[in-house]
A and B are shown apart, each in its own frame.
Chain A
Amino acid sequence: MKLIRTIGERAAGPLQRALGWAEGFPALSEWAESMACRAVAGHPWTTGPWRPAADALADGWSREHGRAFLLERLRRIHANAQRIESRYRGLIPRCATSFGAGFPDAPAVVRTAAGPGGPVELIQAQLTADRLEQTIRRLRGNGRAALEKFDLGRLLQVLDAASREWLRDSGDRDLAVEAIHRLGGFSRESVLWSMELEMRSSLAADMKRALAMEFPSLENLLMRGEGRALRHGPALLGAVFSSNIPALPHLTYMRGLITGSPVLGRCSSDEPVFTPLYLQTLARLEPALAEAIACAWWPSDDAALTQLLVSQSGHLVVYGGEQTIAHFHRLIRPGQPATFHGHRLGVTLIDAAQADDLQALGFDIAMDHCTFDGAACLSPRVVFVSGGKPQTDRLAAAIAAAMNTISSLMPGPLLGVEQRARRRVALDEWEFGGQDFISGASQGWVMLRTSGEWKASSLPGRFIHLHDIGRLDQALDLLIPIQRWLQNAALLASPEDAPRLAGRLAALGVSRIVRPGRMATPTMMWRHDGRPCLGDLVRWTDIRL
């Protein structure tokens, strides 16, 4: 056993050096990162005697190369964003808000939407209940039939190829980036980074791992009923999307198609442009899929179309806030399968005494706050720090430095005057009250530091709330009143404390616990809201002939 461990440890050094060498080469870096991810995920290649090496590889990659790697990625993204900006300077991007068999025949109007980042022309199909019903019939008939003929391996290849296309520069991606930036106020860099994270975790290997994890016997699925069980996805997977994370709706399409279900999504009013472009990619790569995928935007108060989507869906997936979720809860029929991704939030718990490199930890925490501009259900809303004031002071300085660095490469969101006014009012109030805060407002972020009694705070834009606490267990007590909204936690604690704290977080309902810096990068294996994303869609038939 000792010998095996030694082999692994010996392997770690050269591998880490190789990774350092690979840093300047994107393809190698991506390979190295995927290897590191595999190591974390316990991939078969990284078990057995290689496990220590794999762990060291993952740790080493993340700690020693992760920061440099990420900064290099952000530099490239920044340059890319500038290219896109210059491409669309003086132009108004024009985007479709629907895709699907039957929709091209619908009369369309072009509407100019004025977002915080500028105007976008939206081509809106004028949908009627009849037309939507026709499309739904086609999805449930032709679409499902087309999927039945698909070999799962081929499907994964297509989905993988689509993700890879969206990882590369293209006209469609530029268009989506510019339109999402203008409509949603995200910086172009934030959109690009979000797309990269989403698509990089949506490759074939990730899908296979998710399938292997959620279905006890992948072979059964691959053999499509010739084994001991049949699986049925819904006849139609309906979806209602939100706009807080760019390039997220693709996951619902991937999950639906993998389980053999055609998918119809209603695009968000604030971001109706990505989904049609993504579906175009899928249809171009595999024309037969065009019969099984559709999306459209219609006004949220068009009750007839919304009711049609709900009533015709074998399973409904809804992203949105409390009001949206409550609305769709009322619309579904009793017993109708549905998944609601409602309001959730993340927290970070740090025992600063456990940080061997505060600069790296500060960078990780800053990255968790900058990705998705802190506006995802995964994003941290408060950082509880124990370990004494001097250490916390140093950590705060490290976070501030990292926020400046990251924000210079990936700016925060565009804020409207109402939001900037809200920020000003809060900052003035904190200044008058002698609160300890750092305003990198010119860089678009603010960090509030508090101790003693904890009071929830929030600000528009990137906002970090660092709260000093005696022991991390106390922080968990503070979270009890809001436990039903907890989603994601970053935890850095001693090896003695970590299992207990993780257990308590799990008992509070947290669905994902990671180390700082990883909050925004779940894999497809993550059980969103603690539920199996694929497994929930599928009904099984056991055959005992």
Chain B
Amino acid sequence: MADLLTDARALMRLERDLRDFMTCGDEEVDAGWFNDLALRLYRWHLEAIPAYAAFCAHRGAHRDNISDWTAIPPLPVTAFKQASLFCHGHERAAITFKTSGSTASKAGEVHYDRTSLEMMDLSIELNARRWLFPDDRRRRILALAPSRETAPHMIMAYGLHKLMDLFGTPESAFLVGPQGPDVSALIRHVEEARALNQPVALVGSSFGYVNLADGFAAKGLKIPPLPEHSLLMDAGGYKGRSRELPLEEFRALIGNIFGLTEDAMVNLLGMTELSSQFYDDTLSAIQQGKTPLRLKQNPRWTRTRIVDPDDTLRELPLGERGLMVHVDLTNWAHPISLVTDDIGVREFGGFRILGRAAGAESRGCSVTLEELAPAKD
């Protein structure tokens, strides 16, 4: 194989093949095609990202001794906090997203060049068309999240802008500013949408919804039920920024406030380090008249493996809990195989997130130094 760093044509071919793969429309694509693309990306990343190459070499993985995508060493997502993992120099970065919400003090940086952004845009569009807006109906998208202007390094803000551009009506708006959520604007938007019988798509972070609900309860506020065909998407978990609710309770609480059933709610798993997102199948299944499994779905250019924490190359059988390894071919300019600290399980028809890796527990009178570290300040 040609050296992708020095052979621009080979890189262009890879880009074209990846686009073809994503847009081919055939759900039952050849597994060999995915494998071929994954290995070509892996080899390019080895050439272009010294820190990643060193990590793989330490694992005994080189350019030519990996023949299956499952053997690509998964990089810990925390590596983005420690080193640059971009295929190019920083000057080629069109945009830099920062990780947030983790317990580590330092935020990680994920750089995107122009091609990376195009890949991510394509992924967002194809994914949302299938799992978020399967009825192809335009909606007033109300984002309970900050805009790109307010949070230029937040990947969620970028993604929501894309959704508004592609699927939103002109009235779509971001309803979180520097002062927090604008509740009166939200109520006004909902009343307007009801008057126009215009369906609404509420999109935002899980903790944002919970804080909103708590705020409503505290102030005795009520919001009119959303118009027909409205839906709600939540993402991002809680990250300690609100009280945490089990999924069923969350749906009941939020559904009650906005007058939505759980069949109009979808959850999304997205990460700054991944260019693609994972929706659950609720809205798509309902659209097709099926019973939703409420499991996360892999777009065809991604794979998710549930692995043994003691051996991240060993995939666990269905139903067994383990660490989650995601392989995302749209991670064009940064490593495609990443291991997260999420605990998940694979079931028939998708996967489910169950929680996060737990630290060394305090038990009784015993305490760890790490737990005391914040107390130093």
A contact set with B: CB distance below 8 Å: 242-245, 268, 270, 319-322, 341-345, 375-377, 379, 381-382, 416-425, 428-429, 431-433, 441-442, 455-461, 463, 465, 481-482, 485
Contact = CB atoms under 8 A, between A and B. Distances in A.
Contact of A458 (B51, B79, B360): B360
Contact of A420 (B55, B310, B366): B310
13 contacts: A243-B364, A244-B364, A343-B367, A345-B368, A381-B368, A416-B358, A421-B323, A424-B310, A424-B357, A432-B51, A458-B359, A459-B360, A481-B375
A485 B341 CA distance: 29
B369 A425 contact: no
A425 B357 contact: yes
Given A319-B365, A344-B366, A377-B365, A431 B360 contact: no
B239 to A, nearest CB: 16
Contact of A431 (B55, B343, B373): B55
Contacts of A343: 362, 365-367, 372
Nearest to A481: B376
B365 A320 contact: yes
Contacts of A425: 76, 78, 323, 339, 341, 357
Contacts of B219: none
A344 B365 contact: yes
Contacts of B376: 481-482
A349 B28 CA distance: 62
A420 B309 contact: yes
Contact of B365 (A342, A420, A465): A342
Contacts of B82: 429, 432-433
A319 B78 CA distance: 36
A460 B370 contact: no
Given A344-B365, A379-B366, A456 B372 contact: yes
A482 B370 contact: no
Nearest to B374: A456
B322 interface: yes
Given A344-B365, A382-B369, A485-B367, A422 B83 contact: no
A268 B363 CA distance: 11
A287 to B, nearest CB: 32
Contacts of A421: 309, 322-323, 341, 343, 356-358
Contacts of A424: 309-310, 312, 323, 339, 357
Contacts of B343: 417-418, 421
A431 B357 contact: no
Counting from the closest, the 8 A-B pairs by CB-CB distance are A242-B364, A244-B364, A458-B368, A456-B369, A343-B367, A244-B363, A421-B357, A428-B76
A458 B366 CA distance: 12
Interface in B325-362: 339, 341, 343, 355-362
A35 B323 CA distance: 51
B356 to A, nearest CB: 7
Nearest to B376: A481
Nearest to A529: B365
A243 B368 CA distance: 16
Contacts of A431: 55, 58
Contacts of A461: 360
A457 B370 CA distance: 5
A424 B309 CA distance: 6
B17 interface: no
Nearest to B59: A431
Interface of B: 51, 55, 58, 75-76, 78-79, 82-83, 309-310, 312, 321-323, 339, 341, 343, 355-373, 375-376
A277 B66 CA distance: 57
Contacts of B363: 242-244, 270, 321, 375
Nearest to A344: B365
Contacts of A417: 309, 321-323, 343
A456 B365 contact: no
Given A321-B367, A345-B366, A441 B76 contact: no
Contact of B375 (A244, A345, A422, A482): A482
A320 B361 CA distance: 12
B365 A458 contact: no
A422 B369 contact: no
A347 to B, nearest CB: 9
B366 A460 contact: no
Nearest to A346: B366
B360 A441 contact: no
A377 B359 contact: no
Given A429-B76, A481-B376, A422 B359 contact: yes
Contacts of B359: 422, 458, 460
Contact of A345 (B79, B83, B367): B367
Nearest to A461: B360
A320 B366 CA distance: 8
A425 B76 CA distance: 7
Given A243-B363, A418-B343, A482 B369 contact: yes
B360 A460 contact: yes
Given A242-B364, A420-B309, 18 more contacts: A242-B363, A243-B363, A341-B365, A344-B366, A416-B358, A417-B343, A422-B341, A422-B358, A422-B360, A424-B312, A424-B357, A425-B78, A428-B78, A429-B82, A442-B310, A458-B360, A460-B358, A481-B375
Contacts of A375: 363-364, 366
Contacts of A420: 309-310
Contacts of A321: 362-365, 367
Most buried by A among B323, B363, B376: B363
Contacts of B83: 432
A432 B55 contact: yes
A456 B55 contact: no
B362 A456 contact: no
Contacts of A485: 367, 372
Most buried by B among A344, A382, A418, A420: A418
Most buried by A among B55, B322, B323, B375: B323
Nearest to B316: A417
A382 B365 CA distance: 17
Contacts of B321: 417
B369 A345 contact: yes
